[in-house]
């Protein structure tokens, strides 16, 4: 249950921040947070990450439904993980919350509200939102979990005693 709460919190933070940007800023408005390095920028994206696949909303809706169903199914399988294996369900929860956040935008408005802009000298990283950040962090944690999985000791298997024959 806690993993669905994590997904819900990610979803609510994403939707809350998008609501604030959409209702209090005009598109292309910018608010410098840390000089030219970090700027809140009201932007809309009709595509995927980095602006690819513009105007393919039905594709995103179908893919997101399949991904969300897969995440929920897999989360049910791994939700009782113990110890260091808890990273995977947390990662899946972040991806789930982020996917649902962007999904709701696409279904309601046909576009996603983006607003985080980071500049590194003359390079501007593509504008993104909280849902995107949750998805990226979740995917990084899934990769890390996969790498660490090979180092985890195998679960001890119960030792079964061979059946004892009794001589009559």
Q: Catalytic residue numbers?
A: 114, 132
The first and second tokens of residue 23, run together, are 């209702």
Provide the CA 78 distance to its chain's centre, in angstroms: 17
The first and second tokens of residue 80, run together, are 């009782």
**What span, in angstroms and rounded, lies between the C-alpha atoms of 92 and 79?**
10
The first and second tokens of residue 41, run together, are 């920028």
Closest CA to 114 of 20, 41, 10, 60: 41
Edge-first strand listing for the sheet containing 112-120: 30-34, 38-45, 112-120, 123-124
DSSP state of 84: G
Secondary structure of residue 92 in the 3-state scheme: helix
């Amino acid at each position: 249950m806690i993993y669905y709460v994590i997904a819900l919190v990610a979803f609510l933070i994403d939707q809350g921040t998008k609501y604030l940007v959409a209702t209090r800023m005009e598109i292309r408005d910018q608010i410098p947070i840390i000089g030219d390095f970090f700027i809140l920028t009201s932007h809309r994206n009709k595509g995927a990450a980095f602006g690819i696949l513009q105007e393919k909303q039905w594709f995103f809706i179908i893919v997101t439904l399949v991904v969300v169903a897969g995440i929920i199914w897999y989360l049910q399988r791994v939700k009782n993980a113990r110890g260091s294996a808890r990273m995977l369900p947390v990662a899946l929860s972040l991806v789930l919350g982020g996917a649902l956040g962007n999904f709701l935008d696409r279904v309601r408005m046909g576009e996603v509200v983006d607003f985080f802009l980071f500049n590194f000298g003359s390079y501007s990283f593509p504008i993104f939102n909280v849902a995107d950040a949750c998805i990226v962090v979740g995917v990084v944690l899934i990769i890390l979990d996969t790498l660490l999985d090979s180092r985890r000791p195998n679960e001890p298997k119960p030792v079964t005693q061979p059946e004892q024959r009794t001589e009559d």
